[in-house]
């Protein structure tokens, strides 16, 4: 299943399912945080603000992992290891609004800070495993 | 808050809250999986079977991270980076039964495989952050 998200797990991306994104710190230790995410048919997409720990980590080290659990059943999940294929500010504002629509049911991201620059990361799945 | 789990987040360990445990693969890339966990007052404890990917990872590289989200509110969570202070088979069977009681409400872990050796890992929190 390397490289593709199985059809029968793609429903996870239509639910308000958080991803748990692991990145690597400068000293090689892992870091993990809950994130909003979606899937564009090729890449898993996440979005954060420029300068945050995971932003810095993903710029330095493209290796990441993300697990997405079914909010209705914690024993059903998708675990992906992969690489950050693209980091871009282009479309990042529209993307955070898209995620806001999915997770909060609102049109505009309500937590934007003054001067904050949103960044979109496209994660290429390399090793995909499923449970449940 | 380095090294301690804030009192007002310890309730997470009494709920059926999954941890998302990140470990490091041999090539330095991260791996993340949902795990049962608890807290003994000093260490966050997880339990797996000998020979699994995360078992091998934690024996090779003691640096881990774990995030525990409130099952009633995904925006409230505890994010911990730390080190594996102890890896032991002693008490590991009793510990998986304790976790079974918490997560499944049963007395005995029902998924034990023939020949499986349970292992208990004690994670020392080093960097603790909270959200929500």
Give the tens place of pLDDT for each residue, B54-104. Answer: 999 999 999 999 999 999 999 999 999 999 999 999 999 999 999 999 999
pLDDT at B2: 57
Instruction: Quickly tell me which residue has 């998200």 as its tokens.
Output: A5
Q: State residue B102 phi and psi, 5-degree precision.
A: -70, -45
Q: pLDDT at residue B41 above 90?
A: yes
Instruction: Quickly tell me which residue has 């993307």 as its tokens.
Output: A95
How large is the average pLDDT for residues B116-130?
Answer: 97
Instruction: Quickly tell me which residue has 């490289």 as its tokens.
Output: A3
Are A22 and B65 in contact (CB < 8 Å)?
Answer: yes
pLDDT at A123: 98
Instruction: Quickly tell me which residue has 């594996």 as its tokens.
Output: B84
pLDDT at A3: 80
Are B32 and A69 in contact (CB < 8 Å)?
Answer: no
Instruction: Quickly tell me which residue has 């309500």 as its tokens.
Output: A110
- State the ipTM, two decimals: 0.95
How large is the average pLDDT for residues A111-124?
Answer: 96
Which chain A residues touch B if contact means CB-CB below 8 Å? 16, 18, 20-25, 27-34, 61, 63-67, 69, 71, 74, 77, 79, 81
DSSP state of B52: S
pLDDT at B118: 98
Which chain B residues touch A if contact means CB-CB below 8 Å? 16, 18, 20-25, 27-34, 61, 63-67, 69, 71, 74, 77, 79, 81
Q: A35, A48 in Cβ contact below 8 A?
A: yes
pLDDT at A42: 95
Are A28 and B28 in contact (CB < 8 Å)?
Answer: yes
Nearest Cβ partner of A64 from B30, B69, B71?
B30
How large is the average pLDDT for residues B6-35?
Answer: 97
pTM confidence score? 0.96
pLDDT at A2: 57
pLDDT at A110: 95
* Domains, chain A, ordered by start: 7-131 (2.30.110.10)
How large is the average pLDDT for residues B40-48?
Answer: 97
Sheet with B63-70: list strands edge to edge: B30-35, B19-24, B63-70, B73-88, B118-131, B44-49, B38-39
What three-state secondary structure class fits A3?
A: coil
Q: Confidence band (pLDDT; 50, 70, 90) for B3?
A: confident
Least confident of A15-19, B41-45, B71-75: B71-75
Q: Confidence band (pLDDT; 50, 70, 90) for A28?
A: very high
Residues near A70 by Cβ (< 8 Å), separated by ≥ 6? A12, A15, A17, A76, A77, A132
Q: Confidence band (pLDDT; 50, 70, 90) for A39?
A: very high
Cα–Cα distance for residue pair A103/A19, rounded to 1 Å: 12
Q: Which of A20, A66, A67, A111 to mutate to test the interface with B (most CBs of B within 10 A)?
A: A20
For B130, the closest chain A residue by CA position comes to A33
Tokens coding A59: 């710029």
CA neighbor of A38 nearest in space, from A130, A128, A120? A120
Cα–Cα distance for residue pair A50/A47, rounded to 1 Å: 10
Are A66 and B32 in contact (CB < 8 Å)?
Answer: yes
Mean pLDDT of chain A, nearest integer: 96
How large is the average pLDDT for residues A95-124?
Answer: 96
Find the Cα–Cα–Cα–Cα dihedral A33, A38, A42, A47, rounded to 10°.
-50
How large is the average pLDDT for residues B25-40?
Answer: 97
Tokens coding A37: 């995410």
How large is the average pLDDT for residues A14-40?
Answer: 97
CA neighbor of B45 nearest in space, from B81, B8, B95? B95
How large is the average pLDDT for residues A75-84?
Answer: 97
Q: Confidence band (pLDDT; 50, 70, 90) for B1?
A: very low
């Amino acid at each position: 299943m390397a490289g593709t998200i199985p059809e029968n797990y793609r429903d996870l991306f239509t639910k308000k399912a958080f991803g748990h994104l692991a990145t690597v710190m400068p000293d090689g230790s892992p870091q993990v945080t809950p994130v909003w995410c979606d899937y564009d048919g090729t890449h898993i997409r996440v979005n954060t603000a420029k300068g945050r720990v995971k932003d810095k980590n993903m710029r330095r080290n493209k290796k990441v992992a993300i697990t997405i659990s079914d909010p209705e059943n914690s024993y059903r999940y998708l675990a992906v290891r992969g690489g950050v294929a693209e980091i871009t500010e282009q479309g990042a504002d529209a993307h955070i609004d898209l995620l806001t629509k999915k997770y909060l049911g609102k049109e505009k991201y309500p937590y934007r800070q003054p001067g904050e620059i949103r960044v979109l990361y496209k994660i290429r799945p390399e090793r995909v495993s499923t449970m449940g």
